[in-house]
């Protein structure tokens, strides 16, 4: 395994600009589907919109992967060992437990059963079948790669020296939660805890693909539940 370079030796302004650009791109990519929120598969425009949306995701992932390799000195993919599988499953279960506990608390305090972020996704996916297919596929197969590369792979390596674990976990969790819609402190805490655990998985194993797998499992379950609600 390669030794993690010290990104803090590079100019702070350059690192800050790169982080801001990636954070903006992550937040703006879903807006591509909003160019035609009521698109259908009855003509070529719906397919073209899907192609542009997924293509933009894939290109951004490729660029983020290259920058991740540059700043961390690590490969995106690695030998997935039995120990990694245990870590992924353990982190997945931990996130589910924390999320369900916090959502129960949110329901008791604010009478909200879901997060504002999921409610917004449900509302968007109801607009058209193109929106539904586009967001469902990206959420499960593309978002875990992009968000982990940005919020874990890049953010945790850009601003702190190797070995500074807690600042990396906290910054990653704060930015990750801030990127998701929240209407109350409990909702914010849901994504903060999720981001914290995902960052811990990456930092403690130094294997980016581990946190990607956890994120994939979380999004796959969440999107399955959302699709059932949309199609209900």
- Give the closest residue to 160 by CA, choosing from 53, 1, 2, 5: 5
**Residue 111: left (phi > 0), alpha (psi -120 to 50), or beta?**
left
State the helix-helix crossing angle for 44-72 and 12-28, rounded to 10 degrees: 160
* b (16+ CB within 10 A) / e for 19-47: beebbebbeebbebbeebeebeeeeeebe
Helix (H) or strand (E) holding 57: helix 44-72
In terms of pTM, does the model score above 0.85?
A: yes
Q: Is residue 1 part of a domain?
A: no
Give helix 208-231 / helix 82-110 axis angle, nearest 10°.
Answer: 40
Residue 3 domain flag: no
Report the number of distinct structural domains present in the chain. Answer: 1
- Asked, for residue 189, whether it belongs to a domain, the answer is yes
Which tokens sit at 43? 């003509």
Alpha-carbon distance of 83 to 229, in angstroms, equals 36
Inside any domain, residue 98: yes
Residue 210 in domain: yes
* pLDDT at position 99: 97
Q: Would residue 2 count as lying in a domain?
A: no
Q: Is residue 187 part of a domain?
A: yes
Residue 214 forms part of a structural domain: yes
Q: What is the residue range of 191's domain?
A: 8-231
Q: Where are the alpha helices (DSSP H) in the chain?
A: 12-28, 44-72, 82-110, 116-125, 129-137, 143-147, 155-158, 165-178, 185-205, 208-231
Q: Which stretches of the chain score pLDDT less than 50? A: 1
Residue 133 φ/ψ, nearest 5 degrees: -65, -45
Query: What pLDDT score does 79 carry?
Result: 83
At residue 157, the pLDDT reads 93
| 102: CB partners within 8 A, 6+ apart | 186, 189, 190, 193
């Amino acid at each position: 395994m390669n030794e993690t370079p010290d990104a803090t030796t590079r100019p702070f302004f350059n690192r800050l600009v790169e982080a801001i650009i990636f954070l903006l791109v992550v937040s703006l990519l879903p807006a591509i589907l909003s160019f035609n929120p009521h698109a259908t598969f009855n003509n070529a425009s719906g397919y073209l919109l899907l192609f542009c949306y997924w293509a933009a995701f894939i290109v951004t992932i490729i660029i983020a992967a290259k920058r991740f390799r540059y700043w961390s000195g690590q490969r995106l993919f690695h030998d997935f060992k039995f120990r990694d599988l245990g870590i992924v499953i353990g982190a997945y279960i931990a996130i589910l437990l924390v999320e369900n506990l916090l959502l129960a608390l949110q329901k008791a305090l604010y009478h909200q059963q879901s997060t504002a972020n999921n409610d917004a996704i449900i509302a968007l996916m109801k607009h058209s079948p193109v929106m539904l297919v586009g967001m469902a596929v990206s959420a499960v197969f593309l978002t875990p790669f992009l968000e982990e590369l940005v919020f874990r792979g890049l953010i945790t390596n850009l601003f702190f020296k190797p070995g500074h674990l807690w600042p990396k976990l906290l910054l990653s969790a704060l930015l990750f939660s801030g990127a998701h819609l929240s209407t109350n402190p409990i909702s914010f805490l849901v994504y903060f805890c999720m981001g914290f655990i995902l960052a811990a998985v990456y930092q403690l194993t130094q294997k980016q693909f581990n946190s990607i797998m956890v994120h994939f499992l979380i999004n796959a379950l969440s999107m399955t539940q959302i699709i059932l609600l949309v199609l209900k």
